[in-house]
Amino acid sequence: MSGGGVGTRTRVGKYELGRTLGEGSFAKVKYARDVRTGNSFAIKILDKQQVLRHKMVEQIKREISTMKLIKHPNVVQIYEVMASKTKIYIVLEFVDGGELFDKIANHGKLKEDEARRYFQQLINAVDYCHSRGVYHRDLKPENLLLDSYGTLKVSDFGLSAFAPQIREDGLLHTTCGTPNYVAPEVLNDKGYDGTASDIWSCGVILFVLMAGYLPFDEPNLVTLYKKISKAEFLFPAWFSSGAKKLITRILDPNPHTRITISNILADEWFRKGYKPPYFEHGEDVSLDDIDAVFNNSEEHLVTEKKEKPESMNAFELISRSQGFNLGNLFEKQLGLVKRETRFTSQCPPNEIMSKIEEAAKPLGFNVRKHNYKMKLQGDKSGRKGHLSVATEVFEVAPSLHMVELRKTGVLQEFFFGPERYCLED
């Protein structure tokens, strides 16, 4: 977390905010520490105006209420919800083992037994949430986290697709998701059942875990959609017959004949080494904080305050510096996905921000600034979509600043599709 003197930390209630863990079109996720206990959390930050503008209040309130009641070893836990005048803060379990995406990107395909173990945990999580009426709608390896023990945790369950509309026919009608993982019925815009579409995405994930690449992957979206609608793909030679049989039943383009979770749980290949999840149900959960947040109760509002660039102590500087990072001892440098870069400067922070802005504008970037953070958004769409770069300035010492630049909205490297898009009706 941040070092330095008074006024250099960002605080929200009892939480001290740190580095950005992830960023999407609707939200940003930051590392947070409870200053009283020292425990680590992740805080998802939503813009209140966006929530109101998209008429998402009731949807989000319902989803968060349901997710607070869900306690499952393979689903990221929600602890509490807070709000300031402009933002909503969702306090989540901090999962420290990284994305399953990075494990595949760094080391390639998994062995069949390991892939099956992760798939079993994924199905356990999906089955449990479906039984409580919660659907993910954006299942992909980037939303599957690993804790320090290698346990899979599904993130954003019920929170990833914030604007689905259920019409009179009882079906969802918003095309949400990463194209390569999306079920055919989601793409044809005739409404779809969230249960069956999540199962399809699980099948694509299993294929990717075992193959190291996507079953449906075309640079042209029209061609991609045609292949998905016909379930047109080929198995690699190393897939066992049991795995091929199960994946074929999951990647059935007809949602009415697609295998159900109860039949997946009974499948012979799936059941090898299967351990049903163990978790306790007890413990009452309060939903009072959610009501307070969405009822605009003034007495429950928190403030987020930060007057100067976030300071950094020596340990943080070492952990963020490529040369000193002990994590490098445990990573294969070949194939490592590079999503960020850092450099230091002795210039004042305002001057650093101005110089980055001067350099970015002639290259066609639109610039948005807030405190000592800047968002650079490319105005031209390339083969990988719009490039977006998040920039932040940290104070290392009174006369030394570190600048961090991070790609946030660009097609992920290797074999994964674009970050989630959401085309509303």
For the beta carbon of residue 223, count every other beta carbon within 10 angstroms: 12
CB of 139 within 8 A of CB of 387? no
CB of 136 within 8 A of CB of 154? yes
Q: Is 391 exposed, middle or buried (0-12, 13-18, 19+ CB in 10 A)?
A: buried
CA dist list (Å): 154 to 93, 202, 310: 11, 12, 30
Per DSSP, the three-state class of 139 is: coil
* Per-residue tokens: 359: 């350099």
For the beta carbon of residue 207, count every other beta carbon within 10 angstroms: 24
Nearest to residue 285, comparing CAs of 98, 66, 130? 66
CA dist list (Å): 59 to 47, 165, 166, 352: 15, 9, 11, 41
* Alpha-carbon span 421 to 418, nearest angstrom: 8
Crossing angle (nearest 10°) for helices 100-107 and 194-211: 30
CB of 75 within 8 A of CB of 153? yes
Cα 230 off chain centre by: 28
* 69 phi-psi bin (left φ>0, alpha ψ -120 to 50, beta other): alpha
Residues in the chain: 425
Catalytic: 217?
Answer: no
Q: Is 30 annotated as a binding residue?
A: no
Q: Which amino acid is at 159?
A: L
Nearest to residue 92, comparing CAs of 81, 78, 112? 78
Beta bridge partners of 421: 177
Select which of 102, 127, 138, 193 is catalytic: 138
* Alpha-carbon span 370 to 226, nearest angstrom: 43
Query: Residue positions in the annotated binding site?
Result: 44
Q: Binding site for ATP: residue ranges?
A: 44
Catalytic positions, written as ranges: 138
